[in-house]
Amino acid sequence: FGFKGCQKIRGPQLRNLLEAKDFILFDCDGVIWHGEKAITGAAKVVNSLIRHGKNVVFVTNNCTRPRENYVHKFCRLGFTDVMLEQIFSSSYCSALYLRDVVKICGQVFVIGCDGLRRELQEAGIPCVEEADAPDATIYNCPLAPDVKAVLVGHDDKLTFLKLAKASCYLRDPDCLFLATDNDPWHPLSGGRILPGSGSLTAALEVASGRKATVIGKPSRFMFECISSQFRGVDPAQCLMIGDRLETDMLFGSNCGLDTMLTLTGVSQIEEAQEYRNSELTTNHSLVPDYVVDTIADFLPAFEE
């Protein structure tokens, strides 16, 4: 059992696998694009899957854009057939969680980008106004009386004051503590990295002595969002494709989906093999069922 998974797949085997699946779930960064650049062949693959009648959905932990921005981005990069309903971002799913699961009454204090706030607004969830006076400090700033949740996501304008306020709100045990995702960092070009939402969440977990509820991958909630919006989603008919073992492959395992690692992103095949050979059985949930070099390897499957 310890050696199951990490199967390199191509040619007719890959074609059969794709034929057997109704739903293809794609992670975005590292799978279909790197930042603003589409991965070679990815647009053709996605467009072909859609035209062959597959249900294609995108599951991204990037919480910085509202879904409509993704539609524009897909279009700009040549993914011409992607619609709003196919996009499941951690910001959109956080809004659904607050609206439909928590049924929040009260305000949400957000650490995050404008895109996250926009998504919450669209779901009718009130957020605390963010404008602090220039001389504001945690000693003199007002705190809203009705904050029922703190939501943390990637925030490129993070300040100490925001962290301090969030820590104060979290003193109230009735105030929920949510994180859009728990990603530690993201690769940039030239070997640089961007600290992810997980690094901000960790700071608040220490300050509050509490653990955040994570909405994004690897938590199952995003799959529940997909199941509730598409008819007849059967985990056995789904394939989850991603580039990161700790988020995408674990997400797939947590939801009972077949998983595929593509080697155009963060995780290397050697890491997957190490998890596979590990004696710690919890590590086996991080092992992909299949591995491809790039999703462009799908292209021959569409040729007659």
Q: Is 117 in the site for ligand PLP (CB under 6 A)?
A: no
Closest distance of CB 232 from ligand PLP, Å: 25
Q: Is 27 in the site for Ca ion (CB under 5 A)?
A: yes
Between 140 and 189, name the residue whose CB sits nearer to ligand PLP.
189
Q: Is 183 in the site for ligand PLP (CB under 6 A)?
A: yes
**Interface with ligand PLP (CB under 6 A), residue from 48, 55, 64, 267:** 64
For the CA atoms of 200, 115, 255, 264, the dihedral, rounded to the nearest 10 degrees, stands at: -80
Mask for 143-162, x = binds ligand PLP (CB under 6 A) = -----------x--------
Q: Binders of ligand PLP: how many residues, by CB under 6 A? A: 13
Between 104 and 115, name the residue whose CB sits nearer to ligand PLP.
115
**Euclidean distance between CA atoms 157 and 223, whole angstroms:** 30
Phi-psi domain of 136 (left: phi exceeds 0; alpha: psi -120 through 50; beta: other): beta
Scanning 7-15, 122-130, 188-196, 237-245 for contacts with Ca ion by CB under 5 A, the matching segment is 237-245
Q: Is 30 in the site for ligand PLP (CB under 6 A)?
A: yes
Closest distance of CB 31 from Ca ion, Å: 6
Closest distance of CB 61 from ligand PLP, Å: 4
Q: Is 243 in the site for Ca ion (CB under 5 A)?
A: yes
Closest distance of CB 154 from ligand PLP, Å: 4
Residue 119 binds which of Ca ion, ligand PLP, none (CB < 5-8 A, kind-dependent): none
Scanning 26-34, 139-147, 269-277, 295-303 for contacts with ligand PLP by CB under 6 A, the matching segment is 26-34
Q: Where are the beta strands (DSSP E) in 188-250?
A: 193-195, 213-214, 238-242
Kindly report the CA angle at 30 between 254 and 74, in degrees rounded to 5? 100
Between 35 and 256, name the residue whose CB sits nearer to Ca ion.
35
Structure-token pair, residue 32: 């279909």
Q: Which residues have a Cβ under 8 Å from the Cβ of 279 and sit 6 or more positions away?
A: 2
Q: Is 61 in the site for ligand PLP (CB under 6 A)?
A: yes
**Interface with ligand PLP (CB under 6 A), residue from 60, 94, 167, 267:** 60
Q: Is 27 in the site for ligand PLP (CB under 6 A)?
A: yes
Provide the 10 A C-beta neighbour count for residue 273: 15
Q: Which residue shows structure tokens 């011409």?
A: 80
Between 115 and 242, name the residue whose CB sits nearer to Ca ion.
242
Q: Is 30 in the site for Ca ion (CB under 5 A)?
A: yes
Catalytic positions, written as ranges: 27, 29
Q: Which residue shows structure tokens 């049924």?
A: 103
Dihedral sign, CA of 287, 181, 264, 266? negative
Go through the chain and tell me how many residues it has. Answer: 304
Q: Regarding beta strands 213-214 and 193-195, do their DSSP bridges make them parallel or antiparallel, or are they unpaired?
A: unpaired
For the CA atoms of 281, 3, 249, 21, the dihedral, rounded to the nearest 10 degrees, stands at: -130
CA-to-CA separations, 99 to 13, 30, 95, 125, 288, in angstroms, rounded: 42, 30, 6, 7, 33
Distance of CA 42 to the CA centre of its chain: 19
Positions in the binding site for ligand PLP (CB under 6 A): 27-30, 60-62, 64, 154, 183, 186, 194, 196
